Structure 1
Amino acid sequence: MKKKLGAYLTNRKIMATALLALTLALSACGNSGEKANEGSADKETRDITIKIGYQKYGTINILKADGALDKRLSEERNIKIEWIEFPGGPQLLEALNVGSLDLGHTGEAPPIFAQAAGAPLVYLAHEPASPQSEGIIVPKGSPIKSVADLKGKTVVLNKGSNVHYLLVKQLEKAGVDYKDIEVKFLPPADARAAFEKGSVDAWVIWDPFLAAAQTATGGTILVDGTDVVSNHEFYLATRAFAEKYPDIVDILLEEADKIDVWSKDHPQELAEKLSPQLGIDVESLLLAAGRRNYGVQPIDEELIKAQQAIADTFFNLELIPKKLDINDAILK
């Protein structure tokens, strides 16, 4: 997979290099040629501000904390980044849908809901599957011992997030109808408060919130995503941005892959770097880091089929209003 990503980025670099060479050749023809080429692709990717959405944790969050992407874009293109934090993927993609963001990252379910809502998003790349990075957690001492025990109980989650699909698939595996539980939709902070107060029976959540709830409350993970869901992290952009600035997309993916390599080999340093920024203790972040896989990978047919299966599942459950074709959100 990394070889495919390398080939993908290399081809894009060759195109960008050829375009830059052509621009320089034309500019060498004289002042009149230089003025004629002021609208070149190179100049179009300078002196702009791009808006990148991120959540607590995930590779883009690590990129923000590291600062390498800011530095490279500033030095090479005089481009500034405006980083905007969101409590979850659905909220991030809602902002992308209304034009408040250019790029961002979410789990596997939010793009489905966003595409169904008409968001002009495209998939850029993804991280490897990390099924253990999300789960259904119950309070310490809970009588609930299996997913089947959730029947008739109240479960809280962030609507439209990756854990929404986890819940659907775990209920299906346990033979429990989705309609046989009461689902409440709350963002992570509010869901954590409800979980600690005991006003819900279970919480479906992802890391690092899952890890933080474990260490702080003594809650028990009923099940995670192992053998049920993949839990991919996706890099996404508006189609207009991806098509106009493919070179910026390439730089983002290159820097993301670099920081992934570092993160995999330095979990302690990663936890210490993120802890003050996220307001989450180092112990919890270390727990989360150990459950996550790293490495930027290209979108391929296997991933498209997997996303299509999620979209079809949500449509059959009437969670989205229309049947989707994931290929409509793929760059050609």
Structure 2
Amino acid sequence: MILDALTVCTAFAALSAATLLAPANAFAQDIANASDKVLRIGYQKAGLLAVLKAQGSLEQKLKPLGYSVKWFEFPAGPQLLEALNANSIDFGYTGAPPPVFAQASGVGFVYVGAEPQGRHTEAVIVRPDSPLHTITDLKGKRVALQKGSSSNFLLLEVLQKAGLRYEDIRPVYLPPADARAAFENGDVDAWVIWDPYYAAAQETLKARTLADYSNVNTAYSFYEATRGFAQQHPDVIGAVLGQLRTTGQWVNQHPDETAALIAPKVGLDVKLVETWVRRYPYGTSVVTDEIVRSQQSVADAFYGAHLIPQKITVRDNVWQNHDVAASLAAK
């Protein structure tokens, strides 16, 4: 069934005051002790920000600007953008759908950079003994996913390609840890999930892949910041994006060394980490017109499926700085 648009957007629009304040309260002590020159970054287990954290390279990059860094881990993009909205962090990284849901719900942020999406970085998976063998088999089935996440877009795309509508399946909205438990226990029929959770499910649960981005449209992943921070500190945003681009180029050439570096930090097996590191084609860029068009198609898809309450214009939330763009293009 299609959930009421207002219900689907509750991750942002209908959050209670207590929920919105929770991330801020969690970080209150750190923020209280911090100077004005602290960049608060929200990151997830996968992605270049996790590599920068493990390297300590961003701290070195920002030192000449007088900035230190504080890191806060989130299980998924929607929760990260809630913290950004509550002004608990200044900068973060998500897939394409979270900022669409956020913008539709009035969350204050801007897109400051982007990464290309790999074809095999997330998937619709089932247990090895599942009777489901195609996306068409999902009709009427319970599908676990984090609402408003990149999984949401993949699910929309593969359902459309299979000739199904979103209301033909029964979405079960769960964050990754809870979704894995439900998947493992047989409480859901399928799970739509991204790396490293996807790679872990393949390795430890022997999950079978029904579909990934191989035959459907991909979307970009994004770096977001509060509008105020981006406008007031373009030099910091530029330095972060520059370090991300440099590190991404290194990771593309050294996936085994990257895995050895970050596996202890994220508590995962080195070989498993190397699997998902090799799936990502890192290449940090500013948000170009082509990327805006791609993201607008993502937003339109969610509006068409009645999963956001109104049509949005992605360009309204795109931060542009010619100096930063020129600097990044030169790297």
Deviation at 1:240, TM superposition (A): 0.7
- The residue identity in structure 2 corresponding to 1:87 is P
Do residues 165 (structure 1) and 153 (structure 2) align? Answer: yes
Aligned mate of 1:180, from 157, 168, 171 = 168
Do residues 69 (structure 1) and 70 (structure 2) align? Answer: no
2:314 corresponds to: 326
| Structure 2: distance between partners of 1:280 and 1:143 | 30
Matches within 5 A, 1:102-113: 102-113=90-101
1:35 corresponds to: none
Deviation at 1:78, TM superposition (A): 2.5
| Structure 2: distance between partners of 1:231 and 1:82 | 28
1:269 corresponds to: 257
Superposition TM-score, scaled by structure 2 size: 0.84
2:44 corresponds to: 55
Matches within 5 A, 1:274-289: 274-289=262-277
Instruction: Give the secondary structure class of the aligned counterpart of 2:133.
Output: coil
Mapped contact 1:53–1:103 kept (Cα < 8 A): yes
Q: How many residues align?
A: 286
Mapped contact 1:47–1:78 kept (Cα < 8 A): no
1:191 corresponds to: 179
- The residue identity in structure 1 corresponding to 2:83 is A
| Structure 2: distance between partners of 1:96 and 1:77 | 22
Greater Rg by CA: 1
Superposition TM-score, scaled by structure 1 size: 0.84
Matches within 5 A, 1:222-237: 222-237=210-225
Q: Structure 2 regions of 5+ residues with no counterpart?
A: 1-34, 321-331
- The residue identity in structure 1 corresponding to 2:313 is D
Deviation at 1:71, TM superposition (A): 2.1
Q: How far does the alpha carbon of each residue in 1:89-125 deviate from its partner, in whole angstroms, 9 at most, with x for none? A: 0110111111111100001111100111111211111
Deviation at 1:222, TM superposition (A): 0.7
Aligned mate of 1:211, from 199, 206, 225 = 199
Matches within 5 A, 1:39-50: 48-50=37-39
- The residue identity in structure 2 corresponding to 1:148 is T
Deviation at 1:147, TM superposition (A): 0.1
Deviation at 1:47, TM superposition (A): 5.5
Matches within 5 A, 1:113-124: 113-124=101-112
List structure 1 segments (4+ residues) > 6 angstroms apart after TM superposition: none
Instruction: Give the secondary structure class of the aligned counterpart of 1:277.
Output: helix
| Structure 1: distance between partners of 2:161 and 2:197 | 24
Instruction: Give the secondary structure class of the aligned counterpart of 1:119.
Output: coil
More displaced stretch, 297-306 vs 202-211: 297-306
| Structure 2: distance between partners of 1:155 and 1:221 | 14
Do residues 291 (structure 1) and 279 (structure 2) align? Answer: yes
Instruction: Give the secondary structure class of the aligned counterpart of 1:141.
Output: coil
Q: How far does the alpha carbon of each residue in 1:196-251 deviate from its partner, in whole angstroms, 9 at most, with x for none? A: 11111110000111001000011111110123132422111111110100000010
Instruction: Give the secondary structure class of the aligned counterpart of 1:126.
Output: strand
1:239 corresponds to: 227
2:133 corresponds to: 145
Q: Structure 1 regions of 5+ residues with no counterpart?
A: 1-45
